[in-house]
Structure 1
Amino acid sequence: MNLLQNIHAVDVLTFSWCMARKHRAVLTRLGRAISFSADGPLYAVAALLLWLTGYKVLVLVMVLGFLLERIVYLVLKKGFKRNRPADALDNFSSFIIPSDQFSFPSGHTSGAFFMAYCLSEWFPSMNVILYFWAANVGLSRIFLGVHFPTDTVIGALLGTICAAIAIGILV
């Protein structure tokens, strides 16, 4: 077996463990709300509010960083073409309909960690809350059945790296 097959095998085991949790129904309901909080349009609203309250540099960081993140995200999605759990596993259906076909990386998780990193730089007292939210976005994508665990791990890394780059360039 090659490295990717080994990673996928561990991913499937971890995903199956998550799906077998006793309180999965509750986690799925919570996951819908948490996942919704990381939808793209809400970031635009946040940027507008930040702009209007004087955080113009932060908004510029967010715009540059999200452009970079979306480009890398799309290259990875189209390059790896990893099937989502519902397409990769027999007798499994996800709890929501994903917005695109492929699983790797998780865009919701990437966006959440991007926002957590950026906002933590300007509002360090909110650090724990922001990263707790971002981690739960990643978990929600797994419990909703649309991502494998490594999709969310790489999404978190992608968002964090893009935020660090954008801040490094503009601040």
Structure 2
Amino acid sequence: MGSTKATTPSSSHFLQPLITIDASVSLFLHTLFKPILPTFLLLLLEYSADFRFSFPVSISLFLAYPSFSSLAVPLILGHLLDLVLIGLIKLTFRRARPHYNPNMSAVVHADNFSFPSGHASRVLFLATLFHLIFQHNEELVSDFIQRWIKFEPGFVVLGVWVWAIMTATSRVLLGRHFFFDVLAGAFVGALEGIVAYRFLRF
């Protein structure tokens, strides 16, 4: 009697309906907003959240303002944590980016993959960390904001959250990522912000 090999549904087969819905919703949003929102604005959001921009800024803050050194350390270490964690997840899942992703050249190998969104994780990490720092060091942060930016601190916090949400959303609208990539990246980034504030301050 020949042996029969038991077949069990693979995880990709099990998730296929969800992946199909994700791809359809993402393409719909990309197609709907492409003629409405100016591409240069979406690209500006993309560049503003690039690691090659945000990480040097965090280093500069650490070096230029000694009074902020204890608050800049979780910012620096959180950036590195995000870079490693998102890279590992991308290399594990290896989800291809949307086929309509226009002219994107990956900086590192992991950036060839779509899940999760590194930009979404980075901006939510920054927004969450800044919110927590402001919440627990309001006087110090308020003095700095009013000295250099001349805005009400509450508006700056709100502005950071608006920037983070708009940047994460722009990943779908630009065609860089699928909708679930952005949700997953945002969730990871928020967790990183909490971890950085609670455990990476020295």
Length-normalised TM-score, structure 1: 0.86
SS in 1 for 2:71: helix
Any unmatched runs of 5+ in structure 1? Answer: 87-92
Q: 1:62 is matched with which residue?
A: 75
Given that 1:114 and 1:159 are in contact with CA atoms closer than 8 Å, whether structure 2 keeps it comes out as yes
Given that 2:59 and 2:76 are in contact with CA atoms closer than 8 Å, whether structure 1 keeps it comes out as no
Q: 2:178 is matched with which residue?
A: 148
Counterpart CA distance in 2 for 1:67 and 1:8 is 29
Q: 1:105 is matched with which residue?
A: 116
**Identity rate, percent:** 27
Q: In structure 2, do the counterparts of structure 1 residues 139 and 24 end up closer, same or farther at CA, with 3 Å as the change threshold?
A: farther
**Structure 2 matches for 1:1-171, cutoff 5 A?**
2-21=13-32, 24=35, 26-51=37-62, 52-53=64-65, 54-86=67-99, 93-99=100-106, 100-123=111-134, 125=154, 126-171=156-201
SS in 2 for 1:77: helix
Counterpart CA distance in 1 for 2:35 and 2:51 is 26
Deviation at 1:25, TM superposition (A): 5.3
Greater Rg by CA: 2
Given that 1:31 and 1:140 are in contact with CA atoms closer than 8 Å, whether structure 2 keeps it comes out as yes
Given that 2:90 and 2:115 are in contact with CA atoms closer than 8 Å, whether structure 1 keeps it comes out as yes
Q: In structure 2, do the counterparts of structure 1 residues 98 and 4 end up closer, same or farther at CA, with 3 Å as the change threshold?
A: farther
Counterpart CA distance in 1 for 2:133 and 2:196 is 14
SS in 2 for 1:24: coil
Given that 2:34 and 2:173 are in contact with CA atoms closer than 8 Å, whether structure 1 keeps it comes out as no
Aligned residues: 165
Counterpart CA distance in 1 for 2:103 and 2:158 is 28
Any unmatched runs of 5+ in structure 2? Answer: 1-11, 136-153
Deviation at 1:22, TM superposition (A): 5.4
1:95 maps to amino acid: P
CA RMSD of aligned residues (A): 2.0
